[in-house]
Amino acid sequence: MARGYHHGDLRAALVRASLEELAEGGPGAFSVARVARRLGVSTAAPYRHFPDREHLLSAVAATAARDLAAEVAAAADAAGTDPVSRFAAAGAAYLRFTVRTGAGFLMIFSTEVSGVDDPARTAATRALMSGWIELVTATGDRPMQDSLHLIEEQIALAQGYAALYTQGFFRRSSVPVEEIADRVTLGSRRLVTGA
């Protein structure tokens, strides 16, 4: 579906349209030409703002990291003051974000964009991870490596559920995304408490 954009702001429109493409088809099906068609511009237009596909995806990754960080922070704040609840809420926020946008860690930390020198992406991913590290370290005194492993395990749990959900695994039993988010919350609590 073609959409217009505000003249002079094609760069931002390309990033948002790219996020829409990712939400519909995932990173594997991403196409700069489809993004251009979505906006109703020539297939050459994106390359006036981004030298190649990787630079566009890097800008998308930066935006996704900022958006995810905001959603994780909001979910943690809504969970109250209990550190375990705040950390668990981050996993559920990740699931919701990934299901809705298709732009989880696989996109944000994609090896496809790792060669692009993009200070905005670097700052956004650093802020995202710093917030997550604060959440996990508040749950207990442990070596930093163990805290990083807890984040990794939480993301793997949420990413796995997100993949199952988006690929239709739960369609037959009509499980809503909020029920899956509850499972991620419970699993995240178990990671931290061992219960």
Question: What is the rounded average pLDDT of the residues 128-154?
Answer: 97
pLDDT of the residue at 170: 85
Give the C-alpha separation, 89 to 103, whole Å. 18
pLDDT of the residue at 137: 97
The DSSP symbol for 176 reads -
Q: Averaging pLDDT over each range in 34-43, 104-113, 140-149, 162-171, which range is the top one?
A: 140-149
**Residue 35 tokens, joined:** 């993004």
Number of Cβ within a 10 Å radius of residue 46: 25
Pair 5, 81: CB distance under 8 Å: no
Give the C-alpha separation, 63 to 57, whole Å. 10
- Single out the residue of 98, 191, 92, 116 nearest to residue 148, CA to CA: 191
Give the C-alpha separation, 41 to 138, whole Å. 48
pLDDT of the residue at 7: 53
Q: Averaging pLDDT over each range in 26-35, 54-63, 162-171, which range is the top one?
A: 54-63
pTM: 0.88
Spell out the domain ranges in the chain. Answer: 1-49, 54-193
Distance between the two ends of the chain, CA-based, in angstroms?
A: 48
Least confident of 33-37, 71-75, 93-97: 33-37
Give the C-alpha separation, 41 to 55, whole Å. 18
The CATH classification of domain 54-193, taken from the options 3.30.70.660, 3.90.1150.10, 1.10.357.10, 3.40.50.10800: 1.10.357.10
- Topology annotation, domain 1-49: Arc Repressor Mutant, subunit A (1.10.10)
pLDDT of the residue at 1: 42
Give the C-alpha separation, 166 to 148, whole Å. 26
pLDDT of the residue at 2: 44
pLDDT band for 4, please (50, 70, 90 cuts): low
Q: Rounded mean pLDDT of the chain?
A: 91
